[in-house]
A and B are shown apart, each in its own frame.
Chain A
Amino acid sequence: MFGRKAAELVREEYRADADKINTYNEDLVSQVLEETREHYSYIRNIVSRVSEEPSGFAGAAPKDGAAVAIHHESILRNKRCLLAYANTRAEKVRALRWQLGAVLPENVSEKLSAAERDCFKAYDKLLGEYMGTGPDGIGIDLTVDMLPPKDPYIECQVLRDAGAMLLDDKVVHLVPHTRHFIKRAEAEPLIAQGILSHIES
């Protein structure tokens, strides 16, 4: 009660590595929500008791006013902590789309809540539409060219077998440990996903 668990939730996210995503803390979130409803029922009880007294609200004792104030502030606090937690995680969920593309690996996906997974899908759709060639799209893939280009091609080593791929309009089989010069924009997502590694020239 009184914002303690809520602070715990925020602290957990604050300490987390900005590049990593923790497992969604369903348990703690629902405890904070439960507490919030408890605070609210305290308020309702006081309000309904006071309204039944002959003097009504005007004559309410300061001790009741102070209690309502404390519960009210506690609800606001819980709300802020919950939303900040949700918002920070939503930012990370969106970052996943930029880093990994439209499909999340299972070991990442399982860390998200159901709402977050849907949020990822919705964001993927929105971003895809914006970058796409439809009427609302600019027709430019913004997830590549993340660094200033030095050469149209970069040298890469294959880390794991990803089968045959269409690269630069040619079918290439990426055999582990082999090296290739690949168009930057085509190599970028494969590097981010850990299929290729970029070799320094």
Chain B
Amino acid sequence: MGASAIGADYFDLEAILAEEERVPVLFLTSVTGVGRALDPSCDDDDLAEGVKVDLPQWLTKGQLSEKRFVEVRTPKCFNERVKKDIQADPGVVNLRERSAFFYAFGRSLCRILDNNAELADFLLITFRGRYKDLLLQSHFAPDEDVQALKRIMTREEIRIFEAGRQSMQSFTQWRQRKDSIYNMAPILGKKRKR
């Protein structure tokens, strides 16, 4: 997430998966030997110049965009329609369907797209709206609503949301005097029922 610390999240599974999200690119050059692998409609060893394909983000963010082998386009999940939907009613949009790692994905796109300030602002506005409409329910949402709420959240939103729920649950567990009990090692399976 943070641009500052190089490699700080190198081993982070979530950061890695966020980079699996796909980005449409236009090839500004042909490429030796990867035609069939990168473009299903291609019938040649080499990829042709001018071809449009979706690549995972990790592949586009390095030399490919830096050396102008490709031109990176804005993925669908950040297009104008999505923006309008979110601005109209941030709490009902199914963001997970657009991207399970909407914010992390968006932030690294900002960098690829020459520090796109507009996209960065949009991400902040989106989070602000979602925070108010969705995340604030974290501590008190009844269990039956939680599944529905989580279904439209990104992984990042769920993490924050669950953080609140977890602390409420730990608190309840504490009040029932159940958190000073020693348990069997979780790895061995059976856990004490609540």
**Interface, chain A (partner B; CB < 8 A):** 1-3, 7, 10-11, 13-14, 19-21, 42, 46, 61-67, 69-70, 72-74, 76-77, 80-81, 83-84, 87-88, 95-96, 99-100, 105, 108, 146-148, 150, 154, 187-188, 191-194, 197-198, 200
Q: Answer yes or no: B147 CB below 8 A from chain A CBs.
A: no
B16 touching A84, Cβ below 8 Å: yes
Give the distance in Å from the alpha carbon of A192 to the alpha carbon of B183 in the complex. 6
Residues of chain A with a CB closer than 8 A to B183's CB: 191-192, 198
A19 touching B182, Cβ below 8 Å: no
B64 touching A70, Cβ below 8 Å: yes
**Interface, chain B (partner A; CB < 8 A):** 10-14, 16-17, 20, 27, 29-34, 37-38, 46, 56, 58-59, 62-64, 67, 69, 177-188, 190
B58 touching A150, Cβ below 8 Å: no
Interchain nearest-CB distance for A10 vs B (Å): 5
Interchain nearest-CB distance for B33 vs A (Å): 6
Can you list 20 A-B contacts (CB < 8 A)?
A: A2-B37, A2-B38, A7-B56, A10-B16, A14-B17, A19-B187, A62-B30, A63-B30, A65-B29, A66-B27, A69-B69, A70-B59, A73-B63, A77-B58, A84-B13, A88-B13, A96-B187, A99-B185, A187-B182, A198-B181
Give the distance in Å from the alpha carbon of A198 to the alpha carbon of B181 in the complex. 6
Residues of chain B with a CB closer than 8 A to A146's CB: 182
Residues of chain B with a CB closer than 8 A to A64's CB: 32
B59 touching A65, Cβ below 8 Å: no
**Secondary structure of the B side of the interface?**
loop
Given contacts A69-B69, A200-B177, contact A77 B59 (CB under 8 A): yes
B29 touching A62, Cβ below 8 Å: yes
A192 touching B32, Cβ below 8 Å: no
B56 touching A3, Cβ below 8 Å: yes
Interchain nearest-CB distance for B15 vs A (Å): 9
Give the distance in Å from the alpha carbon of A76 to the alpha carbon of B29 in the complex. 22
A7 touching B31, Cβ below 8 Å: no
Give the distance in Å from the alpha carbon of A62 to the alpha carbon of B58 in the complex. 20
**Nearest chain B residue, comparing its CB with the CB of A96:** B187
Give the distance in Å from the alpha carbon of A11 to the alpha carbon of B178 in the complex. 34
13 other A-B residue contacts (CB within 8 Å) besides A21-B187, A148-B180: A10-B13, A14-B17, A20-B187, A61-B32, A65-B69, A66-B27, A80-B10, A81-B16, A84-B11, A99-B186, A147-B180, A193-B184, A197-B184
B185 touching A192, Cβ below 8 Å: yes
B182 touching A198, Cβ below 8 Å: yes
Given contacts A63-B29, A200-B177, contact A13 B67 (CB under 8 A): no
Given contacts A20-B186, A100-B185, contact A3 B29 (CB under 8 A): no
Interchain nearest-CB distance for A16 vs B (Å): 10
Residues of chain A with a CB closer than 8 A to B181's CB: 198, 200
B184 touching A73, Cβ below 8 Å: no
Interchain nearest-CB distance for A143 vs B (Å): 11
Give the distance in Å from the alpha carbon of A105 to the alpha carbon of B190 in the complex. 15
Interchain nearest-CB distance for B101 vs A (Å): 11
Give the distance in Å from the alpha carbon of A96 to the alpha carbon of B185 in the complex. 9
Give the distance in Å from the alpha carbon of A77 to the alpha carbon of B69 in the complex. 19
Give the distance in Å from the alpha carbon of A2 to the alpha carbon of B16 in the complex. 14
Residues of chain A with a CB closer than 8 A to B27's CB: 66
B182 touching A191, Cβ below 8 Å: yes
Residues of chain B with a CB closer than 8 A to A63's CB: 29-32, 46
List of 6 A-B pairs having minimum Cβ-Cβ separation, nearest first: A19-B186, A99-B185, A67-B32, A69-B63, A62-B29, A66-B69
B10 touching A84, Cβ below 8 Å: yes
A73 touching B62, Cβ below 8 Å: yes
